[in-house]
Amino acid sequence: MKQLITLAVLLLSFTMYAQKYDGLAKTPPMGWNSWNKFACDVSEKHVREAADAMVSSGMKDAGYKYIVIDDCWQGERDSLGFIQPDLKRFPSGIKALADYVHSLGLKFGIYSDVGWKTCGGKTASRGHEFQDAISYASWGVDYLKYDWCSSEFLNAKGAYITMREALYAARRPIVFSICEWGDNKPWEWAAEVGHLWRTTGDISPVFDSVVNHGTWNSFGVMQIVDKQIDIRKYNGPDHWNDPDMLEVGNGMSNNEDKAHFTMWCILSAPLIAGNDLFNMSKETKEILTNAEVIAIDQDSLGISGYKYSSVDGLETWVKPLQNGDWAVCYLNRSKKEYDLNYSWQKNNIVDTLTGKKADFEKDKYGIRDLWAHKDAGTTNKNFTAKIASRDAVLVRLSLKK
């Protein structure tokens, strides 16, 4: 009855078009989500282990903070319509799990869907948005991923605004992750609705191909990268293009994982790990916790990088950074090693979106190789490197006074 009274009070005091909670995602969110590794087999044990591993592995210290349960945590609704967890999988309940995550200095996230059913066939939020927001707030949820299955006859912007309003009315700051798959161009309208929005369909742990699931397709890393090229202008602090969760550690080669992670950082994408944190390899941990590479993603300007050139399977991407620095990525999409001999003087940078420039004929920059963790001379000389197949080299340029 108390929950019902609370809901009535909130509805009476609710003002249409309140707003989203601003300032919750000034840099791209970093965390972990259960779906890519566990899908509908997720359990309380998995989530607790992931939270423990985020701390012990050094990921928390590297900036990761959200532990997000994806689909299939739901049970049924009670007699008043409030959502309950599946107590077989989550015997302690969601609030106790959130409290445990918070006790480690982390934040807690959960999943729902705009439709009657989630993508996994579980109870979703349609018609119960305000009740669900109350439940999330009472449990201590900090992040909501909101999916787009069973969305027949719904207007995308309207459906997501409804949940935005519900979250605001529940009076708990919750990062709102719009998972609409890019079907309705959310980059054009979602900045006032949520903090991040999916730009494509689901990712798969493959580097460069489309995976056919019969009635739908998922995409490799390169296919998703290609879909980001024309939407960089919509990216920025508190409103992020989301090319989906990371597949680092889920079956690709180490080179492919490194290139994948590099490109997400060049794009200023959310870094939401999707591997088994409790059992990850040394190589996977080194990729996910590379502080110098993460700093490119988390740069306070929040400017997405762009493709500067493409020659013989080698793409050069550039990204403006704070203090006049630049990130430059050399992405080898080919199946052969590439011998790079890059002349800076022949490749001055002019970013037409931001107006930022790098004149290598006039100015000298120091070069820092972020995967090798070493300085690599200055832009007064050509930059040389051997780039393995399906790998990337990432450097940071800093102006020399």
What are the tens digits of pLDDT across the range 311-323?
A: 999 999 999 999 9
Q: What share of the chain is helix, strand, coil (3-state, %, to 5)?
A: 30, 25, 45
Q: Where does the chain hold its CATH 2.60.40.1180 domain(s)?
A: 306-399
| Annotation says 147 is catalytic | yes
Quick one: pLDDT at residue 17? 54
Mean pLDDT confidence for 5-12: 46
From 71, 132, 147, 242, active-site residue: 147
HSE-CB at 37 with a 13 A cutoff on CA atoms is 24
What are the tens digits of pLDDT across the range 175-212?
A: 999 999 999 999 999 999 999 999 999 999 999 999 99
Q: What single-letter amino acid sits at 262?
A: T
Quick one: pLDDT at residue 76? 96
Judge: domain 306-399, CATH 2.60.40.1180: yes
The model's confidence at residue 230, banded by pLDDT at 50, 70 and 90, is very high
Quick one: pLDDT at residue 401? 79
Q: Is 320 helix (H, G, I), strand (E, B) or coil?
A: strand
Residue 117 per-residue DSSP state: B
Is pTM, for the whole model, over 0.85?
yes
Quick one: pLDDT at residue 382? 97
The token duo for 206 is: 């493959």
Q: Say yes or no to pLDDT of 9 above 90.
A: no
Q: Say yes or no to pLDDT of 14 above 70.
A: no
The model's confidence at residue 132, banded by pLDDT at 50, 70 and 90, is very high
**299 Cα distance to chain centroid:** 15
Mean pLDDT confidence for 226-237: 97
Q: Say yes or no to pLDDT of 246 above 50.
A: yes
What are the tens digits of pLDDT across the range 27-75?
A: 999 999 999 999 999 999 999 999 999 999 999 999 999 999 999 999 9
CATH class given for the domain over 2-297? alpha beta
From 70, 71, 132, 202, active-site residue: 202
Measured distance CA(102)–CA(124) in Å, rounded: 25
Measured distance CA(337)–CA(45) in Å, rounded: 43
Q: Where does the chain hold its CATH 3.20.20.70 domain(s)?
A: 2-297
CB under 8 Å to 212, separation ≥6 — which residues?
A: none
